[in-house]
């Protein structure tokens, strides 16, 4: 599909989630790429009071969703666009909603026998000492409905676990305590049912947190990665299986970690990964000859009703 038959495109960016600033970066990069390819494109921010009127007034042919987090990546925007019969990029309602909910994603994977670290829901009635005994230390504490490592803490003591829960509570969603896996972290971009080359993530931070993702130049991205070809292919197949298992489609990213015994553990699915200068899917695509503008066009071409 070329720029000549993509029609009028609206790039949704911004929104009201905790990942608004990253979404604005992603959306601007996508918009600039589309304009460079002579696509008739404009941006809209769902946070605007008159968003619905603006969207309807565009009479757009398709939407590129560049929203991260709740309100844009969790199935709500997808449901709205389905009702308006406007094709859009990314997963449909079910895949979007499940991927956004780490707790339910992990439960589904566990039910299918896919490897993912053990986790326990945290709330005000939790026995934190018992959780430490069951999961061991350290423990990763995560808001279930946030992305970009927002609200995540690595708790190394019982006291830190309680503090991490207090910190995560501000994001007003389910919170999970997850078994920490010591090992090497990888990410697998997916587009059009194809797994891209793995990226090996190496950071001097305690873990691959928000700062390491967006605001530092010390993170190393090894791609092509340093794994034997057969092992990489096996991890690509696992990532694609995990992605499709929750109903995700179109494009996205699966994060995983391989422990010191080389056993893989699935961490989460991102159905609308970042598309910024620090983002991972563009880095992986570039290694097989897909530049940023072509990647954006390919993603846009998946926007069908």
Cα separation, 204 vs 243, whole angstroms: 28
Residue 62 corresponds to which tokens in the numbers above?
Answer: 């398709």
Q: Which of 24, 61, 21, 17 is nearest to 44 (CA)?
A: 24
Name the catalytic one among 17, 19, 91, 186.
19
Catalytic-residue membership of 185: no
**Per-residue b/e over 157-171, b at no fewer than 16 CB within 10 Å?**
eeebbbebbebbeeb
Catalytic-residue membership of 75: no
Cα separation, 46 vs 171, whole angstroms: 20
Catalytic-residue membership of 253: yes
Cα separation, 124 vs 166, whole angstroms: 9
Catalytic-residue membership of 73: no
Catalytic-residue membership of 160: no
Name the catalytic one among 45, 73, 178, 268.
268
Contact 249, 87 (CB under 8 A): no
Catalytic-residue membership of 274: yes
Name the catalytic one among 43, 148, 249, 250.
148
SS3 62: strand
Helical segments of the chain, H only: 20-36, 51-58, 76-83, 93-100, 102-111, 128-135, 158-169, 210-214, 229-245, 280-286, 292-301
Name the catalytic one among 214, 232, 249, 279.
214
Contact 80, 86 (CB under 8 A): no
Catalytic-residue membership of 19: yes
Q: For residue 26, count CB atoms less than 10 angstroms from its CB and return exposed for 0-12, middle for 13-18, buried for 19 or more.
A: buried
- Give CA angle at 15 (14, 18), nearest 5°: 95
Cα separation, 264 vs 160, whole angstroms: 27
Name the catalytic one among 17, 91, 250, 270.
270
Name the catalytic one among 185, 189, 274, 279.
274
User: Among positive and negative, which fits the CA dihedral 188, 72, 248, 275?
Assistant: negative
Q: Active-site residues: which are they?
A: 19, 148, 214, 253, 255, 268, 270, 274
């Amino acid at each position: 599909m070329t720029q000549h038959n993509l029609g009028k495109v609206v790039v949704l960016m911004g929104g009201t989630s905790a990942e608004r600033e990253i979404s604005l970066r992603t959306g601007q990069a996508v918009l600039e790429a589309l304009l460079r390819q002579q696509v008739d494109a404009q941006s809209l921010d769902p946070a605007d009071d008159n968003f619905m009127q603006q969207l309807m007034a565009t009479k757009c042919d398709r939407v590129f969703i560049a929203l991260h987090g709740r309100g844009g990546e969790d199935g709500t925007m997808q449901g709205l666009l389905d009702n308006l019969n406007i094709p859009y990029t990314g997963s449909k309602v079910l895949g979007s909603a499940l991927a956004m909910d780490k707790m339910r994603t992990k439960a589904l994977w566990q039910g299918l026998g896919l490897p993912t670290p053990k986790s326990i829901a945290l709330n005000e009635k939790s026995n934190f000492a018992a959780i430490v005994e069951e999961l061991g230390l350290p423990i990763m504490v995560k808001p279930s409905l946030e992305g970009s490592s927002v609200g995540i803490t690595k708790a190394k003591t019982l006291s830190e676990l309680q503090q991490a829960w207090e910190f995560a509570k501000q994001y007003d969603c389910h919170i999970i305590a997850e078994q920490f896996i010591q090992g090497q972290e990888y990410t697998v971009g997916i587009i059009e049912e194809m797994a891209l080359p793995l990226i090996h993530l190496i950071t001097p931070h305690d873990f691959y947190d928000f700062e390491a993702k967006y605001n530092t130049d010390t993170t190393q991205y090894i791609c092509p990665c340093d794994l034997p070809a057969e092992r990489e292919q096996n991890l690509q197949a696992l990532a694609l299986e995990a992605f499709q298992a929750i109903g995700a489609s179109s494009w996205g990213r699966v994060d995983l970690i391989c422990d010191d015994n080389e056993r893989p553990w699935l961490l989460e699915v991102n159905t609308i990964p970042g598309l910024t200068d620090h983002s991972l899917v563009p880095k992986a695509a570039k290694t097989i000859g897909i530049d940023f503008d072509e990647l954006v066009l390919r993603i846009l071409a998946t926007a069908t009703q």
